[in-house]
A = this chain, B = another copy of it.
């Protein structure tokens, strides 16, 4: 039996795959667009392509691969490997484990992407051996993961941890989920992009206009470029996003009294230096001081590889 692993981060826009060697180091990576608009079969094909390419391009023998692990958006039963539903992918009661094991003849494991990100940080990143941890992952949307009593908490129906859909303003802007004032409606790249576009249409001068181009959602690296250039709109929009990220963080600190809050995802990966000091300052408005004193707020150590490492953790049965 092989000692290497393939781990996948399946997202609404891209599938990231990695081969990890027997020492858990990433030795090879492949990234492809998900092509979610082309339907279930196309998405399945893209995932299979990524695995095929990882094996072929890295010159790995398939027998060296002990297991494949993955994180994907949606409500996923990580015990059976079934995707119960996924809001942004064409999946409902989809037995991806069966499909993948049939195709590759290799054991396959899968969990919710934000939960896998949390698990990665807890087993291989910033939150190793912490008893209670809240993970908030800011990217296209805002996902969450919870470690409670030294264990990944996903609830009885595998749907817990929707931290991005905590309302921070009962009369705030509508979120894609239909609620109002969700953390995701303020701090995600979807909402940041919406805000930027509105301001550009109102004639606001900003280098974000050229950076955004035809993109439907702004790239984190473009946001960073604008922040580095001290673009006033970028500074203002990001400051507002960080304020609400701090409000969400504060609420979760009051609820959980956690040892640590890990902030991660693509936006933190690119803009952590801008975000972290501001979030630590704003969060004081939104916490009980005695509880905040016991909570570390840190930036993800694994960045874009958090879900890859979380997938490795579920392969190894390390859910706590």
Q: Which residues of A contact B (CB under 8 A)?
A: 75, 85, 131-132, 144, 148-149, 151, 153-163, 165-171, 177, 179-181, 243-244, 247, 250-252, 254-259, 285-288, 290-291, 294
Copies per complex of this chain: 2
Do the beta carbons of A160 and B85 come within 8 Å of each other?
A: no
A-B residue pairs, 7 tightest by C-beta: A155-B257, A160-B257, A159-B257, A162-B254, A166-B251, A165-B254, A157-B294
Q: Which residues of B contact A158 (CB under 8 A)?
A: 257
Do the beta carbons of B159 and A131 come within 8 Å of each other?
A: no
Using known A-B contacts A162-B291, A170-B286, A286-B179, determine if residue A155 contacts B258 with beta carbons closer than 8 Å.
yes
A26 to chain B, nearest CB (A): 32
Do the beta carbons of A165 and B132 come within 8 Å of each other?
A: no
* Complex-state Cα separation, A160 to B156, whole angstroms: 21
Nearest-neighbor residue (CB-CB) of A181 within chain B: B169
* Complex-state Cα separation, A145 to B255, whole angstroms: 9
Known: A132-B155, A169-B170. 8 other contacts (CB 8 A): A149-B149, A154-B257, A159-B291, A162-B257, A166-B251, A169-B169, A170-B286, A255-B255
**Can you list 14 residue pairs at the A/B interface with Cβ under 8 Å?**
A75-B290, A85-B290, A149-B153, A154-B257, A156-B257, A157-B294, A159-B290, A160-B257, A167-B168, A168-B169, A169-B171, A169-B181, A179-B286, A180-B285
